[in-house]
Amino acid sequence: MYGYRNILMTKVAIIIGSSRESSNTARFAKAIKINLEARQISHIRIPDARMYDIPFLNKGSLSIKTLTPYQSEVYDSVAQADVVFFLSPEYNWTMSAEILNLFHQFGSKDFSKMWEGKTFAFAGVSTGRGGKMPAIDMSRVVGKLVGFFGFKSFISPKIFESQFTTKALDPNGSNLGNEGYDKGLDDFIDYHINTI
């Protein structure tokens, strides 16, 4: 399944786990997009997380027949992707409630096209030293989901900690000259685009 696709035809989805206006997680998503485009990868979808309207479980479950525009964009982006980057800010040493809720609501056989035959990559975002725990926690939840349903996907062990994000990236996701950060981001993307 892996290692045979044309790299330039790789389809990528980037899912942002923060609905805040001008979030640092969105800034990091833009950096991934810039990096991918520099590799001539053009099939990149990033649903606008500011439109987040996935109900929490106490408000009911999603139906694949009645998805809102944002929910449909998340579903279609991930279902059609080869590689999926899940990004979350670090809140209280873990992932955001929004990304965890997304996993809960879309984590069923009704949405199996989102979870079958993918490479899943995880990154945590922080303005200081942080990012490790949300990436690990997202990996654990998605790994459990994929394993429980028997989907054939790759849960990547290589995470990225976007530390001091505002000192490394401008609001448009362009790098600010932090060589160590830029090399780490290159390595992270290389792992998922070129070696899987």
Cα 144 to Cα 6, 87, 117, 129: the distances in Å are 29, 18, 15, 27
Q: Enter the pTM of the model.
A: 0.95
Asked if residue 4 has pLDDT above 90, the reply is no
Residue 58: what residue type?
N
pLDDT in tens, 132-149: 999 999 999 999 999 999
pLDDT at 115: 98
**Helix (H), strand (E) at residue 15:** strand 11-16
**82-116 residue pLDDT tens:** 999 999 999 999 999 999 999 999 999 999 999 99
Domain layout of the chain by residue ranges: 7-193
pLDDT in tens, 24-77: 999 999 999 999 999 999 999 999 999 999 999 889 999 999 999 999 999 999
Residue 127's pLDDT is what?
96
Say which CATH class 7-193 falls into.
Answer: alpha beta
Beta bridge partners of 162: 125
User: What pLDDT, on a 0 to 100 scale, did the predictor assign at position 5?
Assistant: 59
List pLDDT tens digits, range 153-194.
999 999 999 999 999 999 999 999 999 999 999 999 999 998
Task: Tell which residue, 160, 181, 168, 2, has the closest CA to residue 86.
Answer: 160
Q: Supply the pLDDT for residue 6.
A: 76
**pLDDT category of residue 195 using cuts at 50, 70 and 90:** low
Cβ(51)–Cβ(102) under 8 Å? no
pLDDT tens per residue, range 117-137? 999 999 999 999 999 999 999
Q: What angle do CA 123, 126, 129 make, to 5 degrees?
A: 105
* Single-letter code of the amino acid located at 36: L
Q: What is the pLDDT of residue 76?
A: 98
Confidence of residue 1 (pLDDT cuts 50, 70, 90): very low
- For CA atoms 105, 110, 29, 191, give the dihedral sign: positive
Q: What's the rounded Cα separation, in Å, for the pair 14 and 77? A: 8
